[in-house]
Each structure stands twice: as C-alpha cells, then as structure tokens.
Amino acid sequence: MTDIGQLSTLLIYGAMAAYAVALVSFAVDLSGLRDGGPEGRRRKAVGIAMSTTWVGAALHLAGVVTRAIAAGRVPWANMYEFSTLFSLVAILVFLGLTRTRDLRFLGTFVVGLTLLMLGIAVSVLYVRADGVQPALDSYWLIIHVSIATIATGVLAIGAVLSVVQLVQERSELRRVRASTEVSEPALVGATGGATGGGSPAAGAMTGRWSKLMESAPTSAEFERLAFRLNAVGFMLWTFTIIAGAIWAEHAWGRPWGWDPKETWSFVIWVVYAAYLHARSTRGWEGRRAAYLSIFGFVCVLANYFVVNLVFNSLHSYSGIG
C-alpha cells in the first residue's frame, strides 16, 4: 500500500498546484473588478479560476480516497488527514454556493485558505498512511470525526462570509458618505464659500475598492448566508459533541471529563449558540453578528492547533477533531 500512499500525496500536491493557478486567476479577476477593467478580461480570468478549482477539487478528492485505500480505513484519523478533508469540504461548499449565486469573487479567500491548510498539512502534519491505535478502532471514528470534519469546513466558509460582510459594510458606509458629500460643493458655491478637498490619491483608492464591492452582494446578504451556514455548522458540531460523549463512555467509562479537547469543544458550542441566540432573538445583526461568527471560527482553529499540539489530553494520541 506504500505506492498508493505516495500516489495520494502526489494527488494532494497536484491539487495544490491547481489551487495555486486558481488563486492567481481569482486575484486577477478581483483586480479587474476593483479597477473596472474590461468585462471580457474579468470573465476570462474567473473562468480559468473556476475551472482550475474544479480540477483541484477532483485531485483533492482523489487524494483523500487513495489515502483511505492506502491506510485501509477512513481517511480522517490524524491531523494530516483531518486537514486535507475539512479543506476539501470548504472547497466543495464554496463550489456548491457558486451554483446558486455569483460568489466567485470569494474564491481568492476560500482557495487561499485551502491552499494554506494543505501547505501546513503536507509540510508540518504529514504522517504515513497506516492503521489506527486500538482506542481509535471503532465505528465511532467514522461517525464522530466525519461530522466534526464537515462542521469545520462549513464553519470556515461562514467565517469567510463574515469577513467579507464587514468589508462590504464598510464600503457601503463610505458610499453613503460620498453620496451625501456630492451636493456640498454646489451648496457651498451657491453661498460663496470655499470647499475643502480630500486627497485625490485616497479618493482614487476608495473608488477602486468601491467598484469591487459594488459588484458584490450587500452586507446584509452576506450576513444572512453566513448565518445559515453557521446554523448548519452548529447543528453538526452539536452532534459531534454528543457522539464524542457516547464514544468516551465506551472507551473511557465516562461521557465527559473536562479534558482540554472536550472543554474547548464545549467553548466552541457556547460561542456559536450565543451567536445564533443573539442573532435570532436579540437583533444582533450586522457587524456584531459578524464578529461573533469570526470569533467562533478562531476558537475552532485554537481547538484544532493549540489544544492538539500544546495541551496534554486524552485525545493527544489521535490529534483529531
């Protein structure tokens, strides 16, 4: 199975190469949108970006499948495998969203995040394909960790949408201020006064970024979409915790022990529960909701990297979830 394991690694590298081409193409498209370049040039760049993203996703999926064949088990039993799989989920969620609405300009952020995670996976987290320790040889590995992987990928896209929401909200506020200031020169001229001018360079820069964001959905649309994805991710994370407690009862004779991994998983659950509650019942829409969404995913990353790599935990032998 060594040859298949090597093939899996090569496929992941191939996916990274395709994603790198896609990232450059998405960046060219963003530059065209920002500068108001020719429509044909923009669409050509984003067409290349989407095509290479699909190629990368296919290679990525093949790499995950061949990893499972090489290991003779499900491909999510360690941090390397978890990283390759949840980044694949994020890419597939992004590609699925682009089928129903034009969110292709988000490709720079999503593909960039995926490329970063794969880079960390192959350079820092890589381990050879092999079996699992007896404690992990359970059907709960299939149930518990697979749902955690999907939840992480979904929450990652929710966080990306919240970041873009904040950028769009700021752009909208600038456009409102600009529209209210348009009438000031005429008003001041009519009264014989002098007008104060802003920096032309700053105005040009603002104009370029406004051009980009004008072609994107509104911040409210980004916020609604992020909320839906975070709601799905929260339900999946809830199931992850419940399944983990059942597995802990079978493996260690107790469902919960405030192990660092269990504690941080609960912290994540509380943050997203607060986000959903505040968004639904307290009117925390807009910026405050976005900050909570981003903070929630920061907690997910802390749980994944810091808790797995720094803390002593009953979960340390696996480094997953």
**Does residue 119 surpass a pLDDT of 80?**
yes
Q: Between vectors from CA 110 to CA 109 and to CA 115, what angle results, nearest 5°?
A: 100
d(CA 240, CA 144): 5
- For residue 244, pLDDT over 70 is answered with yes
Does residue 181 register a pLDDT over 60?
yes
| H or E stretch at 135 | none
Tokens of 8: 């899996």
pLDDT category of residue 202 using cuts at 50, 70 and 90: very low
Buried b (16+ CB within 10 A) or exposed e, 121-151: bbeebbeebeebeeebeeebbebbbbbbbbb
> Are the CB atoms for 108 and 26 separated by under 8 Å?
yes
Q: Looking at residue 212, what is its pLDDT?
A: 62
pLDDT tens digits along 258-300: 888 899 999 999 999 999 999 888 777 888 999 999 999 999 9
Q: How confident is the model at residue 29 (pLDDT cuts 50, 70, 90)?
A: confident
Percent share of the chain, pLDDT over 70: 82
| pLDDT over 70 at 240, yes or no | yes
* Three-state SS at 37: coil
Is 180 in a helix, a strand, or coil? helix
| Three-state secondary-structure class, residue 196 | coil
